Amino acid sequence: MRPLPLHIALALAAAGCASQPPAKPPDPAPPEPEVRPEPAAEAPKADPLGPKMVAEADRLFTEAGRERAAGRPEDAAEKYGAAIAIYEAMAKFDASPALPIRAANAREAREKAVAEAEAAGRERYRAEILASLPPSPFPDDASLVRHFEELLARNPDDRRARRRLAALYLADERYPEAAAAMEVGADPEPVLELAQAALWYRLGRNDDAVKKLEDVRRRWRRALPPQILRPAFCLQPPRGFDRFVAAERAEFFPQQKLWIYFEVGNATCEVLEGGRYRVSLRCDYEILDEKGASVAWPEVKDFARDYDPAPYGTPVNDVCLQLGIVLPKAPRGKYTLVLRLTDKVENKVGETRLPFELR
């Protein structure tokens, strides 16, 4: 193909008839967004509470020092404590190293104020005691002994004066006079009765000392409930106090004959005329099944035993009882024997339970 002449090509180009299609005009550019200047950041407001609280703690610390210098350590300790609380609370929000130091100084000052307050309290107590004493010179022991001896000579029934005189005799190691002062008139104070028994023992009056201790022990036992001690099932009848053989296992057969051995604690030993003593006890018993219901026992008429021996010549300490029973005809299972002991002199009751099994 022959090329177009130059003048024709120029004409076609001027007429817009070039051999290539004209380029598409570019899209108009979007308008640029308006740029607004950012507002300047506001400076954080200063916290007015923190400095005020620290200033309040400083004020309390200063006032506490003035209270302490004025001789009022109790008030100083209280204000030191308030300052410590503020310092420690502010230290949780403020990293300033000065706050822990101030708190430590306040704690040290408070410890000193507390010690001064305790010393001042002891001094006040001592001053009050001294102010309550008789005017000086304070009478010596010999003068006090003469005073109470004269007082008892005028009024022999003055129990308080007799106690004071006996205490003075004891302090002066005048044991015979102290024992004699305690012997006159009945004085149920247990502490003094024990002291009297100890004096008699020191003076070689052993029988009197033992008797006094037995009297005290007997009266104290009246306030205690009876006790069932060392209860045991026995296949053979016991032969006396601590002379029994307990069954190896609490497993028995229906209608088997058994003996129940036990000892009695806190039994009331009643004093009779002529220096005799009496013990009176009653033991009731029953058998309960696993549900706690009482087991029928038609072959047994009396479910109690009385112990009323002849009066003794001395107070009784060791009392043992034994019950001979025949177990009821009941199904196999687990049961409980309930023993209830009544002190008939004082009408006091004690109880114990013995589990066993019927095979």
pLDDT band per the 50, 70, 90 thresholds, residue 332: very high
Question: Is residue 352 included in any domain, yes or no?
Answer: yes
* CA-based nearest residue to 50, from 90, 19, 16: 90
Same-domain pairing of 248 and 279: yes
Same-domain pairing of 218 and 235: no
In the structure encoding, which two tokens stand for residue 237, read together? 């009848």
Identify the domain boundary among 177, 201, 222: 222
Distance CA 113, CA 116 (A): 5
Question: Is residue 161 included in any domain, yes or no?
Answer: yes
Domain that holds residue 175: 141-222
Kindly state the average pLDDT of the residues 208-218: 82
Q: Hey, how many other C-beta atoms are within 10 angstroms of the C-beta on 120?
A: 14
What residues contact residue 338 under an 8 Å CB cut-off, 6+ apart?
A: 285, 286, 287, 288, 351, 352, 353
Same-domain pairing of 102 and 204: no
Same-domain pairing of 189 and 210: yes
**8 Å CB contact between 267 and 226:** yes
The count of structural domains within the chain is 3
Same-domain pairing of 231 and 285: yes
Same-domain pairing of 83 and 105: yes
Q: What confidence score (pLDDT) does residue 136 get?
A: 64
Same-domain pairing of 179 and 211: yes
Burial class (CB in 10 A: 0-12, 13-18, 19+), 7: exposed
Q: What confidence score (pLDDT) does residue 6 get?
A: 46
- Is 147 in a helix, a strand, or coil? helix
CATH of the domain at 217: 1.25.40
Question: Is residue 98 included in any domain, yes or no?
Answer: yes
CA distances for 252 relative to 81, 348, 358, angstroms:
74, 32, 5
pLDDT band per the 50, 70, 90 thresholds, residue 24: low
Same-domain pairing of 214 and 238: no
**8 Å CB contact between 30 and 49:** no
**DSSP code string of 194-222:** HHHHHHHHHTT-HHHHHHHHHHHHHHHHH
Identify the domain boundary among 207, 222, 237: 222
Question: Is residue 31 included in any domain, yes or no?
Answer: no
H/E element, 23: none
Same-domain pairing of 213 and 280: no
Question: Is residue 4 included in any domain, yes or no?
Answer: no
What residues contact residue 32 under an 8 Å CB cut-off, 6+ apart?
A: none
139-164 pLDDT, tens digit each: 788 888 888 888 888 888 888 888 88
Q: What confidence score (pLDDT) does residue 200 get?
A: 86
**DSSP code string of 211-257:** HHHHHHHHHHHHTS--EEEEEEEESS---BTTB--B-SSSEE-TT-E
**8 Å CB contact between 224 and 269:** no
Same-domain pairing of 215 and 242: no
244-262 pLDDT, tens digit each: 999 999 999 999 999 999 9
169-183 pLDDT, tens digit each: 888 888 888 888 888
Same-domain pairing of 247 and 206: no
Least trusted range by pLDDT, from 28-37, 77-86, 224-233: 28-37
Identify the domain boundary among 100, 127, 154: 127
Same-domain pairing of 354 and 263: yes
